[in-house]
C-alpha cells in the first residue's frame, strides 16, 4: 500500500493536473454541451458499465475517468483539425430544421457525427486495431455520442446551429453581453437544470430519477435514430418554441440587438435537458459495453481467469467497497479523513494472477482523486505485495501472523511487517489487514529505529455489493497501457462559434 505521504503527493499532483486542464480549456462556452454537460454524460455512463467493460477500459486507460475523457475532442479540437482535416465537423449533423437536404448534402464526405460514430465503433471492436487506435476511438465515441444529444447538434436553420441567433435571458440586465442561442443550450440551461449540484451528484440524481426501465429502453436503436430524436426536439422546442420563429422568415437578431427570451421559452427548454443528458450517458455506456465486451483484449489474447486456488484465497476481496481513508498529516501531525470507495477485481498478468485495486478519494467539490494498485498474496512464501502500475513504487511485506487461519476460512486478520521510506528516512512498517464478508480494513503504522509504532493511515470499508465473481470472463489477461490525459489547449470552432 502507498504511504500516507505518497497518497497525498499523488492527490496533489492529480489535482494540479485537473486545475491546469480546466483553466487552459476556458472559455467553456465554446464547448458542445459545455464542460459540465459533457462531464455529466461521462459520469452517468461510468455507472452503467459492465464489470468486463470496466476492466477492459481501465487496461486501455488506467484510472479511466469518462468525465475527463468526454472533454477530449473539445480540449484538443484545434490540434485535431490540423492533424485530421474535417474532424472539427464531427461534433454535429447540420440537418436543416425547415428545408430538406440529402444526407450527403448536410454530411459531405462523411464529416459529421452520425457518420463517424459507427466508424470508430468498428475501430474499437476490430481485432486488428492497435491499442492506441482503440484509445482514440473511445475518446471520440464518448464525446460524439454526448454531442448528438444536444438538440442544436442535430439541426440547423442556416445559422450554424443557432450560433448566429443572439439572445438574452429573460432576467438578464440590459448591459449584459448577449448570448448565442447555441451557448444557451450548451451551458446555460444545464447550469439552471443542475441547480448548483455537483456533476457527480447530478449524475446520480439522473440515474435515480429515470431508473432501469428508461435506461434499458434508451439503449437501443441506431445513431441515426438518436439523431432524429434530437432533430425532432430541436424542431419542436429549440427552434419551434423560439418567440417569433417561423420557417422561411428571417429571425432578426445581432450582437447589438439581441432578442430577449421569454420565461415560457426557458421553461420549455429546461424540460428535456435532464433526459437528454441521461440518454447520452446511457448510450455511451451501451456502446462501450457492446464494443469492449465483444472486442479484443489489449494484448489481443483471449480472456483468462485466475485458477481456483487463487480465487479461493482472494475471493473475499473482490467487489465494491465504500468507506474512508484516515491519514496523519506529516507537517501538522493532525489526522484527516477522506471519503473513499474501492473496487477490487482479479486479473491475470504475465507473472501470475493478482488483484486490481481502484481507489476513488472524495476531497470535496472538484477534488476527486483516483489511484490504482496491484495486490498479491503469496501463501507459499507468506508474502503480501502491492505495486503501483507503470512506476517503481512497490511495497513488500512478510505475513507474520494470521495466515493459517486465513487459508482455512478465507477471511480473518493478517499482520504484515516490512520496511519503507518516510521523509527520506528508512522506517519499519507494520500493517494490519482485516477482511470478512462485510468489512475490509487496513491499518498502517511505522516507526524509526528506537521508536514506538505510530499511526500513518487507515482504510475502513464496508461491502457495497455481493462481491463474488459471476463468470470467468470477469477476470482478464490485460497488461496495463498508459495513455496521457487529454492535453488542455486553446481551440477555435469554425468562425469562432460553438458547435
| Tens digit of each residue's pLDDT (9 = 90 or more) over 277-336 | 999 999 999 999 999 988 765 543 333 455 666 777 788 898 999 999 999 887 788 899
Q: Is residue 484 part of a domain?
A: no
Domain that holds residue 413: 308-470
Q: What is the pTM of this model?
A: 0.59
Regarding whether 389 and 268 lie in a shared domain, the answer is: no
From the list 340, 350, 346, the residue with the least C-alpha distance to 377 is 346
- Residue where a domain stops, chosen among 300, 324, 339: 300
Regarding whether 315 and 250 lie in a shared domain, the answer is: no
Q: Is residue 277 part of a domain?
A: yes
Regarding whether 228 and 328 lie in a shared domain, the answer is: no
Burial (CB < 10 A; 0-12, 13-18, 19+), residue 187, is: buried
Question: pLDDT tens for residues 407-443?
Answer: 888 889 999 999 988 878 899 999 999 999 999 999 9
pLDDT of residue 13: 34
Regarding whether 126 and 256 lie in a shared domain, the answer is: yes
Residue 194: CATH number of its domain: 1.10.575.10
Regarding whether 267 and 133 lie in a shared domain, the answer is: yes
Regarding whether 417 and 383 lie in a shared domain, the answer is: yes
Regarding whether 193 and 336 lie in a shared domain, the answer is: no
Whether residue 363 is predicted with pLDDT greater than 90 in this model: the reply is: no
Regarding whether 188 and 228 lie in a shared domain, the answer is: yes
**Residue 316 is placed in which grid cell?**
473475499
pLDDT of residue 244: 94
Number of compact structural domains in the chain: 2
Q: How many residues does the chain have?
A: 499
- Residue where a domain stops, chosen among 300, 335, 354: 300
pLDDT of residue 69: 94
- Residue where a domain stops, chosen among 279, 300, 321: 300
**Residue 148 is placed in which grid cell?**
448528438
Higher-scoring residue by pLDDT: 99, 231: 231
Diameter of the chain measured on Cα atoms: 87
| Region of poorest pLDDT, from 269-278, 368-377, 432-441, 464-473 | 464-473
Q: Count CB atoms within 10 A of the CB of residue 129.
A: 19
Ramachandran assignment for 33, one of left (phi > 0), alpha (psi -120 to 50 degrees), beta (any other): left
Q: What is the edge-to-edge ordering of all strands in the sheet holding 179-180? A: 179-180, 166-168, 259-260
| Mean pLDDT estimate for the chain | 83
Regarding whether 63 and 211 lie in a shared domain, the answer is: yes
Percent of the chain with pLDDT over 90: 61
Residues 128, 345, 218, 137: what is their CA dihedral angle, to the nearest 10 degrees? -30
- Residue 174 pLDDT class (50, 70, 90 cuts): confident
Q: Is residue 479 part of a domain?
A: no
From the list 350, 376, 359, the residue with the least C-alpha distance to 480 is 350
Residues facing residue 418 across a β-bridge: 397, 429
Please state, in angstroms and rounded to a whole number, the distance separating the CA atoms of residues 436 and 302.
Answer: 32
Percent of the chain with pLDDT over 70: 82
Amino acid at each position: 500500500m502507498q504511504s500516507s505521504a505518497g497518497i497525498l503527493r499523488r492527490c496533489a499532483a492529480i489535482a494540479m493536473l485537473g486545475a491546469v486542464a480546466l483553466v487552459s480549456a476556458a472559455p467553456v462556452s465554446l464547448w458542445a454541451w459545455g464542460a459540465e454537460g459533457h462531464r455529466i454524460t461521462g459520469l452517468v455512463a461510468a455507472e452503467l458499465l459492465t464489470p468486463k467493460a470496466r476492466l477492459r477500459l481501465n487496461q486501455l486507460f488506467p484510472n479511466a475517468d469518462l468525465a475527463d475523457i468526454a472533454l477530449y475532442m473539445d480540449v484538443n479540437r484545434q490540434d485535431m483539425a490540423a492533424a485530421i482535416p474535417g474532424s472539427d465537423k464531427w461534433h454535429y449533423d447540420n440537418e436543416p430544421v425547415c428545408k430538406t437536404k440529402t444526407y450527403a448534402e448536410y454530411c459531405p464526405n462523411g464529416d459529421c457525427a452520425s457518420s463517424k460514430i459507427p466508424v470508430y465503433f468498428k475501430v474499437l471492436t476490430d481485432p486488428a486495431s492497435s491499442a492506441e487506435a482503440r484509445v482514440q476511438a473511445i475518446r471520440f465515441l464518448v464525446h460524439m455520442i454526448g454531442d448528438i444529444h444536444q438538440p442544436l447538434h442535430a439541426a440547423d436553420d442556416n445559422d450554424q446551429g443557432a450560433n448566429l441567433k443572439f439572445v438574452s435571458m429573460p432576467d438578464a440586465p440590459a448591459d449584459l453581453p448577449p448570448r448565442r442561442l447555441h451557448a444557451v443550450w450548451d451551458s446555460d440551461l444545464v447550469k439552471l437544470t443542475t441547480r448548483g449540484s455537483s456533476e457527480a451528484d447530478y449524475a446520480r440524481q439522473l440515474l435515480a430519477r429515470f431508473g432501469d426501465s428508461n435506461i434499458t429502453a434508451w439503449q437501443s436503436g441506431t445513431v441515426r435514430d438518436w439523431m432524429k430524436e434530437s432533430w425532432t426536439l430541436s424542431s419542436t422546442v429549440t427552434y419551434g418554441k423560439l418567440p417569433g420563429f417561423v420557417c422561411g422568415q428571417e429571425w432578426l437578431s445581432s450582437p447589438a440587438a439581441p432578442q430577449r427570451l421569454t420565461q415560457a421559452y426557458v421553461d420549455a427548454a429546461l424540460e428535456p435537458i435532464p433526459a437528454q443528458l441521461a440518454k447520452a450517458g446511457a448510450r455511451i455506456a451501451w456502446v462501450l459495453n457492446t464494443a469492449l465486451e465483444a472486442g479484443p483484449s489489449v494484448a489481443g489474447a483471449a480472456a483468462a481467469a485466475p485458477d481456483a486456488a487463487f480465487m479461493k484465497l482472494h475471493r473475499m476481496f473482490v467487489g465494491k467497497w465504500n468507506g474512508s481513508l484516515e491519514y496523519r498529516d506529516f507537517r501538522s501531525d493532525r489526522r484527516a479523513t477522506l471519503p473513499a470507495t474501492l473496487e477490487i477485481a482479479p486479473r491475470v498478468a504475465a507473472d501470475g494472477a493478482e488483484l486490481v485495486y481502484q481507489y476513488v478519494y472524495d476531497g470535496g467539490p472538484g477534488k476527486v482523486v483516483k489511484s490504482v494498485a496491484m495486490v498479491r498474496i503469496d501463501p507459499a512464501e507468506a508474502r503480501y505485495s502491492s505495486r503501483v502500475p507503470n512506476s517503481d513504487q512497490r511495497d513488500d511485506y512478510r505475513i507474520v501472523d494470521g495466515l493459517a487461519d486465513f487459508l482455512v476460512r478465507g477471511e480473518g486478520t493478517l499482520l504484515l511487517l516490512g520496511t519503507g521510506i518516510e521523509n527520506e528516512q528508512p522506517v519499519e512498517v507494520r500493517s494490519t489487514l482485516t477482511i470478512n464478508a462485510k468489512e475490509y480494513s487496513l491499518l498502517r503504522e511505522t516507526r524509526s529505529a528506537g521508536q514506538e509504532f505510530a499511526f500513518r493511515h487507515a482504510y475502513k470499508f464496508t461491502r457495497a455489493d455481493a462481491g463474488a465473481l459471476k463468470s470467468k470472463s470477469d477476470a482478464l489477461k490485460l497488461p496495463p497501457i498508459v495513455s496521457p490525459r487529454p492535453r488542455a489547449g486553446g481551440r477555435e470552432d469554425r468562425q469562432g462559434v460553438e458547435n
